[in-house]
Amino acid sequence: MKDKVRIRKRKIDTNLLATNILKGDRVALSQAITLVESTLKSDNFTARKLLEQIMPHTGKSLRVGITGVPGVGKSTFIEAFGEELINKGKKIAVLAIDPSSQRTRGSILGDKTRMETLANNPNAYIRPSAAGSSLGGLHARTRETMLLCEAAGYDVILIETVGVGQSEVAVSQLVDFFLLLMLAGAGDELQGIKRGIMEMCDGMVITKADSGNQEKAKMAMRQYQNALHMFPPTDKDWSPKVMTASSYEGWGMAEAWQLICEFTEKMKIDGWFQHNRQEQNKHWMHEWIAQELKQRFYHHPVVADKISGLEQEVMKEVRLPITAANELLEAYEQELKE
C-alpha cells in the first residue's frame, strides 16, 4: 500500500512541468532537477520524457566549467564573476558539485551559504548537488541539469567541480570553455596534477591577487604562461591565456569574461564550437550505454544469484578475480541468447 501511495505522489505532468520551465519558473526547474537526479526507475522514464520535450529549447547558453586546487576560492570567485555577468545583463545558473562521503554518502552542500549574495539575486540560480559515487568531480546528472537550466532561459551556465584529478577530463566533455583557477606559490606538491589540468584548460586565473600579494601572483602568472607555451598545439588552435584576479577586491572579473567571449567567438568562426558540442553529445550517448549495461548486468537474476558466492571465493583467494568476472559475463551472455 505504501508503494502505491508513493508512486501516486510522484506522478508528474511533464507537459505542465516543461511549460513552466520554459517560462523561467524556478520552482518548476528545481522540481525537474530533483526528478532527473532521482535513482527511481519510474522517475528515470519520466525524466527522459521531460528532457525530450525541452530539448528543442536548449543549446543557446554558454557553458563554462570552473575547477581548481583546494583552497583556491572557487565559490568566492564564482560569486564575484556571477555578479559581473549579471551586471552585464546575463542570467546565470551555477551548478555547484559538492564532494560526498564514500562511507556515509553524505554531503555538506554549502555553496548557497558561500554564495549568499548571488543566491539572493533573481537573475541567478544556484543548484548544489552531491557528487555521490560519480568520478570526475561532477554529479552523474550534471548534463541533464544543464539542459534544464538552458531551457529555463539562463544565458551562462557555470559548473563548479569538486576539485581536481579526473575533473579536467569530465569537465572538458561537458562545457564550451574550461577555466582553471590556481594559487600563487601553491608548492611543488601540486606538480603531479598541474600538467594534466593545464593541458585541458582554455584559460587560467591566478586567484587571491589581493593588495600585498600582487607581485607573487604576477610572478605565478608569468611562470604558468611560459609553461603553457611549451605544450603542443591542440585542435582548437588556441593558446590559453593566464591572468590575475581578486574576488575579495572585485577586479579581474571583466577581463575573465572578455577572455571567454574572445575564445567563444574564435571557436564559432573556426567551426570548432559546434564540432565540440557534437562530440560531447556522442560521448554522452556512449557513457549512458555503459551505465545502462552495468545496471542491467548487476540486476539480472543469473548474475544476482551467482555473484555473492564468487565474491567470497575471490576474497578468500581461491579464485582469480578475472576468472570470476568472466564466469559472470559468460553466464549473462548465455541468458541473453536463450
Q: How confident is the model at residue 138 (pLDDT cuts 50, 70, 90)?
A: low
* Residue 237, C-alpha cell as written in the block: 588552435
Task: Tell me the average pLDDT across 235-240.
Answer: 89
Q: How confident is the model at residue 104 (pLDDT cuts 50, 70, 90)?
A: very low
Q: Which of 65-79, 136-150, 163-177, 236-250 has the lowest mean pLDDT?
A: 163-177
What secondary structure, in 3-state letters, does the chain show?
A: CHHHHHHHHCCCCHHHHHHHHHCCCHHHHHHHHHHHHCCCHHHHHHHHHHHHHHHHHCCCCEEEEEEECCCCCHHHHHHHHHHHHHHCCCCEEEEEEECECCCCCCECCCHHHHCHHHHCCCCEEEEEEECCCCCCCCCCCHHHHHHHHHHCCCCEEEEECCCCCCHHHHHHCCCCEEEEEECCCCCHHHHHHHHHHHHHCCEEEECCCCCCCHHHHHHHHHHHHHHHHCCCCCCCCCCCEEEECECCCCECHHHHHHHHHHHHHHHHHHCHHHHHHHHHHHHHHHHHHHHHHHHHHHHCHHHHHHHHHHHHHHHCCCCCHHHHHHHHHHHHHHHHHC
Q: How confident is the model at residue 3 (pLDDT cuts 50, 70, 90)?
A: very low
Task: Tell me the average pLDDT across 157-165.
Answer: 78
Looking at the DSSP bridge assignments, the partners of residue 92 are 124, 156
The CA-atom distances, in angstroms, between 308 and each of 312, 321, 335 are 6, 13, 18
CA distance 140 to 284: 11
Sheet holding 124-130, edge to edge: 124-130, 92-98, 156-160, 62-68, 177-182, 203-206, 241-244
Residue 245, pLDDT score? 95
Residue 268, pLDDT score? 97
Q: What is the CA radius of gyration of the chain?
A: 22
Is residue 154 scored above 80 in pLDDT?
yes
Q: For residue 126, give every residue at least 6 positions away whose Cβ sits within 8 Å of its Cβ, in sequence order, or none.
A: 93, 94, 96, 111, 112, 115, 118, 119
For residues 66 and 191, which has the higher predicted lDDT (pLDDT)?
Answer: 66
Q: How confident is the model at residue 17 (pLDDT cuts 50, 70, 90)?
A: very high
Question: Is 56:63 a contact under the CB 8 Å cutoff?
Answer: no
Question: Is 263:238 a contact under the CB 8 Å cutoff?
Answer: yes
Report the CATH number of the 60-269 domain: 3.40.50.300
Task: Tell me the average pLDDT across 120-148.
Answer: 78
Residue 10, pLDDT score? 58
Q: Which of 39-43, 54-58, 147-151, 308-312 has the lowest mean pLDDT?
A: 39-43
Residue 331, pLDDT score? 95
Ranges in the chain annotated CATH 1.20.5.170 = 1-57
CA distance 332 to 338: 10
Ranges in the chain annotated CATH 3.40.50.300 = 60-269
Q: pTM for this one?
A: 0.86
Q: Average pLDDT of the chain? A: 86
Domain 1-57 fold is 1.20.5
User: pLDDT tens across 183-230, in order?
Assistant: 886 554 345 446 667 788 899 999 999 888 888 899 889 988 888 888
Is residue 78 scored above 50 in pLDDT?
yes
